[in-house]
Amino acid sequence: MTGRERDRRITDLGTLKALAHPLRMRLARALNVARVATASQLAEQVDEAVSLVSYHLRKLAEHGLIEEAEPQSADGRERWWQPASDGVSIRDEDFRDAPEKAAALTAASRLFFEQRADMYRRFLDERAHWGEPWNAAAQSSESSMRLTADELTALNKEMLAVLRKYEEQGRAADAAGDTAGRENVAVHTYGFPFRV
């Protein structure tokens, strides 16, 4: 852990809307991976103009989603950014008290899902370039279970604990210089009820 807040809970509509902008979400994700970066570095990653990226980074900072970081180079003109917390948490219960809040949460959730699906599509398109070890390690699965809401909550907590364990293990290894063979890995899970 970095000592920063874990999974900052977003409870206000303004912050949700700030994050639920397609470019801002891509920037927040890229910054989470990089841990520290400049607008120029992020602009290159998302293929956008530095001025546009700078504007959207300032918007994320206004809502406390990112913050200025210590300079990583001697160039005093560069402004460095870092995530303000180790992840965010957005819960349905915080947005169901008004129709406009519920609609905003639905729109944000759809955007997050589409961006995650795009990440997986990109992997599928580039799969041949990853080599056998990564192709063998990558997985996609679907499980259908008969659970109560409480059981689904417990399942989600257990899966999140496992994910955090590996996330912290990877960050510690990176910090110790053990970077050989390490790649960014996305794990997307969805647990939801359905009827046939």
Q: Is the dihedral of CA 55, 84, 109, 119 positive or negative?
A: positive
The alpha carbon of 109 is separated from its chain's Cα centroid by a whole number of angstroms, namely 12
Query: Among residues of the chain, what percentage have pLDDT more than 70?
Result: 98
Beta bridge partners of 163: none
Res 115: pLDDT = 96
| pLDDT, averaged across the chain | 94
Nearest to 160 by CA among 134, 180, 188: 188
Both tokens of 32, joined, read 């989470």
| d(C-alpha 67, C-alpha 82), whole Å | 6
Six token digits for residue 12: 């206000």
Bridge partners (DSSP) of residue 184 are: none
pLDDT digits (tens, 9 = 90+) for 106-158: 999 999 999 999 999 999 999 999 999 999 999 999 999 999 999 999 999 99
pLDDT of residue 73: 83
Q: How confident is the model at residue 5 (pLDDT cuts 50, 70, 90)?
A: confident
Could you give the CA distance from residue 162 to residue 172 in angstroms, rounded to a whole number? 16
pLDDT at 11 over 80: yes
The answer to whether residue 1 scores a pLDDT higher than 60 is no
Q: What percent of the chain has pLDDT over 90?
A: 90
